[in-house]
Chain A
Amino acid sequence: MEMAVFAVFALLAVGSSLVVIAHRSPIYSTLSLVVTLFSVAVLFVLLGAPFIATLQLLIYAGAILVLFLFVIMLLNVGRDEGIPGGHRLQLATAILGALVFTGMLGLLLRSALGGGPPAPLTEQAVSLSRLAQELFAEYLLPFEIVGLLLLVAVIGATVIARRATEEELAVAPSGPLADPTARGGGPEAPEPVGAGAGAPRPGYAAWSSEADRAAGGARPASVPGGRA
């Protein structure tokens, strides 16, 4: 039974991760990564870590990847044509990947993994309260530091991604905070109704580019990830 579940979700994980790295559209890559994360979460449950599995779904699949999708749609990220260098380079990287895999597998086989299969999972081993006790007793300092790290990350992300305010632009019109993609003076794309002041311009504004206007409206090819 455990074997069957492992087989199904391991194959699903590998398959969807191949789609992640191979698909040209970043939206499909992100959605495939969601499938991969879900399969890995199931494997976590099989390995006796239900709490971590739930956290993975809640944080990774439910928040981080949604953030990825947001940014992809915001920046209107198009299809990824792959690095120049053609088939030879792709073959080289594939061989490198296979080498990495076999190398790691060899190391794993030689590592001292103790004798045989692990003891069957007991109620106590999986218990959440034991995990919590260990987390807040032995690992209290890293816990607090990670909290600080998250705070710094939030502040940093807000500062990096914000637009310059009027005063800053007046002082340094072409400085690092200036936004050359903002069109001043000419016909502006209309801001969405009710959008908060200073919210980043959504990616759909890129649909009303010059080529699209000349062609008389948005064409399917200009849709990110759409059929060319």
Chain B
Amino acid sequence: MSAELADLVATAIKLGVTLAILINVVPVMLWVERRGGALIQDRPGPNRLGPLGIFQALADALKFMFKEDVTPSAVDRPLYLMAPALGLLPALTTFSVVPFGPDVTFRGHVYQMVVAPAQTGVLLFLAIASLGVYSLVMAGYASNNKYSLLGSIRASSQLISYELALTLAVVAVVIPVSSFQLADVVDYQRHHGWNVLPQIVGFLIFLVAAFAETNRLPFDLPEAESELVAGFHTEYSAMRFATFFMAEYISMTSLSALGATLYFGGWTLPWVHVEGFAGVAVGLAVLFGKVACFMAFFVWVRWTFPRFRYDQLMRLGWKVLLPLAIFNLILVAALTLAGVL
């Protein structure tokens, strides 16, 4: 088998594994969200379907599939139909730069456990994530509806504002590592300890920006249920609405994976060193364990805090997070030059 063919097959396998995991996150998150929220709010939550309501997601999926797909007559058809699918693409693609295991040597060939070992690793993640704005904008505009348009304008301005703070926090992590590739970031943390401690400020900025980037409470004004009907996805029903839903959860997962890799060591644990295919399995388990912690935190915050008002949100993004992120960047650069980091 030639080298390129082997590479192609390996990439296909990696892609299959990661996609399978990502798509299956959605029903799990549905359950976690509803039972977790119920736990926090001291109520039972879904408990009719199966023990502890674990088949609720299945019932939801069936409902979405059989629900009538209403397409309003005055919408801008091509954009209206494209928007949900376009939201799913960046969410799924960004995960491809996250490493999930040690390098594997198979038949004399070394395979990296990243779907796309691009040289511009994290930057590519941020670039593709920033393309997710278009789905929101298209959905709101095409819906021919004041509330949708308002929701989409809010959503896109929120996204691009917090993108800056997110990018600066990420760049601050990259500076001591001297490489954009996430595999190198993980390697660095293996030798220097997890990044969260020396860069706690950067981590907090990343966390807040991640909440804003995924439109999660307390930053979910674009889809605020009590304010704008349903914001930019008001006019969407059934499977299209489900697609937006899926896109949100999957982008949450990707960002959590990025956060875990940048600040918490990614697929490694300090005392664990397993090689080969078993190492990949362990790496996957560790990475998604950390992702699960992040997601639980997302759910916890959602059911705890009230919502930010739009002007408070913009003020926080521009007047608080951005200066903090710049300060963090300068600090990390100075420490790296001084040889401390």
A and B touch in the complex (CB under 8 A): yes
- Complex CA gap A54/B120 in Å reads 7
A-chain residues with CB within 8 Å of residue B238 when the two chains form the complex: none
Shortest B326–chain A CB gap in Å is 13
Bound Cα distance from A58 to B137, whole angstroms: 17
Q: How far is the CB of B323 from chain A (nearest CB, A)?
A: 15
A226 neighbours in B (Cβ, 8 Å): 74, 76, 144
Interface residue B311 (Cβ < 8 Å from any Cβ of A) = yes
Contacts of A20 in B (CB 8 A): none
Tell me, rounded to whole Å, the shortest Cβ–Cβ distance linking B180 to chain A.
Answer: 7
* CB closest residue in chain A, given B126: A58
Within 8 A of B (CB), among A67-116: 69-70, 73
Please name all residues of chain B whose beta carbon is closer than 8 Å to the beta carbon of A34 when the two chains form the complex.
131, 134
Which residue of chain B has its CB nearest to the CB of A72? B141
**B309 CB–A CB distance under 8 Å:** yes
Query: Does A27 sit at the interface, judged by CB under 8 A?
Result: yes
A50 touching B130, Cβ below 8 Å: no
Of A31, A128, A129, A204, the residue contacting B138 (CB under 8 A) is: A31
Which residues of chain A come closer than 8 Å to B309, judged between CB atoms? 194
Asked if B173 is at the interface (CB within 8 A of a chain A CB), the reply is no
Please, how many angstroms separate the alpha-carbon atoms of A128 and B181 in the complex? Answer: 11
| A204 in complex: contacting residue of B146, B157, B221, CB < 8 Å | B146
Interface residues on A, range: 35 or more
A142 at the interface (CB under 8 A from B): no
| B144 CB, min distance to chain A CBs, angstroms | 5
B71 at the interface (CB under 8 A from A): no
A193 vs B312: C-alpha distance when bound (angstroms): 12
Q: Tell me the nearest residue of chain B to A196, going by C-beta.
A: B311
* Contact string against B for A residues 20-41, beta-carbon threshold 8 Å, 1 for contact and 0 otherwise: 0000000100010010000000
Chain A proximity mask over B113-124: 1 for CB below 8 Å, otherwise 0: 000001110011
Residue A13, interface by CB 8 Å: no
Kindly report which residue of chain A lies nearest to residue B156, judged by CB atoms.
Answer: A66
CA distance A126 to B310 in the complex (A): 43
Bound together, the chains give a CA A70 to CA B227 distance in angstroms of 22
A109 vs B79: C-alpha distance when bound (angstroms): 41
Q: Is B153 an interface residue (CB 8 A)?
A: yes
Cβ of A63 within 8 Å of any chain B Cβ, yes or no, is yes
Encode A195-215 as 1/0 by CB contact (under 8 A) with B. Answer: 111000010100100000000
The residues of A that contact B150 with a CB separation of less than 8 Å are 192, 202, 204
A62 contact from B119, B133, B149, Cβ within 8 A: B133
B6 at the interface (CB under 8 A from A): no
Q: Is B128 in contact with chain A by the CB < 8 A criterion?
A: yes
User: With contacts A73-B141, A194-B221, A204-B150 known, what are 18 further pairs, Cβ within 8 A?
Assistant: A31-B79, A34-B131, A50-B119, A50-B120, A54-B124, A58-B130, A63-B160, A66-B156, A70-B156, A73-B149, A73-B153, A128-B180, A194-B311, A196-B314, A197-B311, A204-B146, A226-B74, A226-B76
23 pairs, CB–CB < 8 Å, chain A vs chain B? A27-B79, A31-B134, A34-B134, A51-B120, A54-B127, A57-B131, A58-B130, A61-B127, A62-B127, A62-B131, A66-B156, A70-B156, A73-B153, A126-B119, A194-B221, A194-B309, A194-B310, A196-B310, A197-B311, A202-B153, A204-B150, A225-B76, A226-B76
- Interface residue ranges, B against A (CB under 8 Å): 74, 76, 79, 118-120, 123-124, 126-128, 130-131, 133-134, 137-138, 141, 144, 146, 149-150, 153, 156-157, 160, 163, 167, 178, 180, 221, 227, 309-311, 314-315
